[in-house]
């Protein structure tokens, strides 16, 4: 019996739901019971009856599942860490707040919003300040709702996402620590970024437009503002999938997001908007062997790489998430 067959057998035997993010390598993605984007996965897991969840993705995603489904045992074949999520922790969050305070903006005039790509601890900090979580697909709604409070938005951790949404809403943005005027900004951005989406550049767009007249450029809002500004469509992972699938097959399209998703999306007339391979190293850490080992650990009662979140952190992180759900 090969590894894939062993995994399928153990899944059934143990009543495990195997979950995989869109950016996972093909052999893992193909065996998953649930696939999707980060928050979408956590919501789908809530609807399952399985006690055990094996989550193939990065650490903050496994934490989100645990926050939203505390009764489930959540394990990860690899607790890979999203580089962007690693750029902020509780200490850096507090340090940035102090810098904003030093610019003359007190905490009572700040509403934090954290991108889903952050740890449960950061989400909890945001929740304690009355803030919310957002995703790349609902950030418009969340930011618009937040601005109605009359407070300045402190957006963490992705500066590009904050800048892109500020620009689309005709708002002023600034980045903490880069010398820009924080008091003049509507959205104050933490200085974090996605290393994969930083690979795409305006030169790549110019190259494809020159080589293939009429080509469409599709990018994720984690890309640089100047790249998004020159794109024909900017959207979240799920929105990109929907958009591209509706295009005629003879329509050429260059996509600026993670490589594994692009190559599965559409075989014809589809190009990667980069001269190098935009593959997320942490999303690609999980292998079939890792999945098998995790399932075996459940069978043997070891529960390797089980995700745990303290009740205090879970409470406030859930508050931040729930405020988003209410909107």
pLDDT at 38: 86
Consecutive 10-residue averages of pLDDT for the chain (327 residues): 93 95 96 93 93 96 96 96 95 98 98 97 98 94 95 98 94 95 97 97 98 98 98 96 97 97 94 94 95 97 97 98 94
pLDDT at 205: 98
pLDDT at 33: 97
Cα–Cα nearest to 133, from 324, 326, 327, 325: 324
Using an 8 Å Cβ cutoff, are 41 and 53 in contact? no
User: Which residues are CB-contacts of 50 (< 8 A; sequence separation ≥ 6)?
Assistant: 15, 16, 17, 72
pLDDT at 198: 96
Please state, in angstroms and rounded to a whole number, the distance separating the CA atoms of residues 253 and 12: 40
pLDDT at 203: 97
Q: Half-sphere exposure of residue 89, counting CA atoms within 13 Å on the CB side? A: 4
pTM for the full model? Answer: 0.95
Quick one: DSSP state of residue 37? -
pLDDT at 1: 73
């Amino acid at each position: 019996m090969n590894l894939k067959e062993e995994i399928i057998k153990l899944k059934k035997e143990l009543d495990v739901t195997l979950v995989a993010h869109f950016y996972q390598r093909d052999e893992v993605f193909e065996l998953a019971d649930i696939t999707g984007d980060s928050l979408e996965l956590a919501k789908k897991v809530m609807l399952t009856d399985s006690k055990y969840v094996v989550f193939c993705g990065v650490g903050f995603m496994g934490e989100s599942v645990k926050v939203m489904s505390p009764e489930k045992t959540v394990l990860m074949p690899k607790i890979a860490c999203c580089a962007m999520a690693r750029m902020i922790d509780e200490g850096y969050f507090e340090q940035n707040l102090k810098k904003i305070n030093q610019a003359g903006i007190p905490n009572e005039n700040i509403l934090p919003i954290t991108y889903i790509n952050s740890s449960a601890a950061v989400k909890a900090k945001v929740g304690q300040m009355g803030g919310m979580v957002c995703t790349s697909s609902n950030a418009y709604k969340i930011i618009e709702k937040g601005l109605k409070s009359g407070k300045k938005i402190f957006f963490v951790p992705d500066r590009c996402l904050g800048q892109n949404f500020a620009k689309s809403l005709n708002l002023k943005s600034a980045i903490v620590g880069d010398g820009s005027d924080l008091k003049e900004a509507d959205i104050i951005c933490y200085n974090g970024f996605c290393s994969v989406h930083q690979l795409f550049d305006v030169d790549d767009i110019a190259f494809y437009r020159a080589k293939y007249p009429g080509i469409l450029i599709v990018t994720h809002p984690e890309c640089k503002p100047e790249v998004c500004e020159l794109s024909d469509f900017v959207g979240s992972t799920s929105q990109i999938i929907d958009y591209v699938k509706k295009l005629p097959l003879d329509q050429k399209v260059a996509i600026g997001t993670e490589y594994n998703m692009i190559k599965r999306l559409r075989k014809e007339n589809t190009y990667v908007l980069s001269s190098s391979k935009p593959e997320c190293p942490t999303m690609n850490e999980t292998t079939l062997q890792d999945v098998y080992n995790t399932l075996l650990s459940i069978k043997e009662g070891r529960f390797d790489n089980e995700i745990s979140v303290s009740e205090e952190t879970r409470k406030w992180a859930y508050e931040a998430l729930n405020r988003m759900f209410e909107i």
